[in-house]
Structure 1
């Protein structure tokens, strides 16, 4: 399934604005198969500019969703922000290997670590595999950036806020990791900016965890 590549036009169903600059675009799936964690290459119909976005929706959803943060000077995100139901997107994919199997979800404790919109692939995992044994650690500046927090079990979600005392932990993700304990058989998946990923992996290694337990995808 992961090796099948599609190129189609998909109609926009709705655009949900989460914050001033962050939004979810929902569009037709057209029964396209994918593996949770994969991404799509997305652009407005007729445009020459495209960007990669992790699939935000789950395997059982009849539609696709992507989580987008607007770059005001960007060539793609301002156009996506203005989309209306019925507009068409040009979609290529799915592609990528930042994936996890249902068997692995059930057989290992999994810690997912993200900053900002890097939470997108993990949202797809949790929606697709509701019985997975996980902890989600999400680093943001303010609590309003806790995208999709209601989709996670409260006792398995740690919100780290760096600019206000409104989450479960006041500070950066790396500050939380320094104080946290993890079983030795835990698998770690990291998605977000490269600085966080590098620092987090170094902290985990200092705790005696092996790099073959760590998997990462950088969001630019």
Structure 2
């Protein structure tokens, strides 16, 4: 049975009206980059809880989560209203197998996300294991609007820290952004445009992680499989590792 830690809100950064990052101070706990916990709030109707990936890397003094506000949602609108000093509970232990230990070696690693699905990748970027294992890392973030492109400054810090090793590729589908494609991920992969922009191939020697909207995952996975890449399973290692929360 899950146990709960009590955390204190230390920051609630609003990227825009429906996207925010919340930070909590909690007692130290162990987790692996890519895992998730449940955030819980006690309300007059009982405890409300939902799963969210940790954005911070293991060893951080604060726990951080990237949250999209769901209209009519039971928890996200409440989280958005939390202020410094408010209390929020975190489930223990952390869960999930969307971690680098489950990913085989490859010539390159593609971290493909949509929306808040970039969260677990940010956690991974702060670990030594990622940079030691893969010579070329491609971080793809597909969003609707430019304002959805959270954490760009943090990503640039990693690019400066590991020059030439990380390529960051935003995709904005619903408004123009100079030098940034607007098509959906499967179409960009099918045409080869994504590979050309990122200057990395997608072959059966690649490793691809997918996290985000279920439709993006389903369609992108199907496209990759049509190119000869296979789903990664413990009993049969492949190329495509998937995480879905809803």
User: In structure 1, how many angstroms separate the alpha carbons of the residues matched to 2:181 and 2:213?
Assistant: 19
User: In structure 1, how many angstroms separate the alpha carbons of the residues matched to 2:99 and 2:227?
Assistant: 25
Partner of 1:189: 209
Moved segments of 4+, more than 4 Å = 103-108
Partner of 1:199: 219
Matches within 5 A, 1:90-169: 90-93=89-92, 94-101=94-101, 108-129=107-128, 131=131, 132=134, 133-153=136-156, 156-166=167-177, 168-169=180-181
CA contact (8 A) 2:105 2:207 kept: no
CA contact (8 A) 2:112 2:211 kept: yes
Deviations 1:180-218 (A, max 9, x none): 332431111101121111111111112222222111112
**SS of alignment partner, residue 47 of structure 2:** coil
Partner of 2:48: 49
Partner of 1:63: 62
CA contact (8 A) 1:45 1:88 kept: no
Shift of 1:128: 2.3
RMSD in angstroms over aligned alpha carbons?
A: 2.3
Do the aligned partners of residues 106 and 127 (structure 1) sit closer, same or farther apart at CA in structure 2, a change above 3 Å counting? Answer: farther
Q: Structure 1 unaligned runs (5+)?
A: none
User: In structure 2, how many angstroms separate the alpha carbons of the residues matched to 1:88 and 1:30?
Assistant: 13
Partner of 2:234: none
Count of residue pairs brought into register by the alignment: 216
Do the aligned partners of residues 107 and 186 (structure 1) sit closer, same or farther apart at CA in structure 2, a change above 3 Å counting? Answer: closer
Q: Structure 2 unaligned runs (5+)?
A: 160-165, 196-200, 232-237
Partner of 1:215: 241
Partner of 1:10: 7
Shift of 1:29: 3.5
User: In structure 2, how many angstroms separate the alpha carbons of the residues matched to 1:22 and 1:34?
Assistant: 25
User: In structure 2, how many angstroms separate the alpha carbons of the residues matched to 1:206 and 1:183?
Assistant: 11
**SS of alignment partner, residue 48 of structure 1:** strand
Shift of 1:17: 0.6
User: In structure 2, how many angstroms separate the alpha carbons of the residues matched to 1:175 and 1:25?
Assistant: 33
User: In structure 1, how many angstroms separate the alpha carbons of the residues matched to 2:4 and 2:40?
Assistant: 11
CA contact (8 A) 2:211 2:244 kept: yes
Question: Is the aligned partner of 1:173 residue 2:185?
Answer: yes
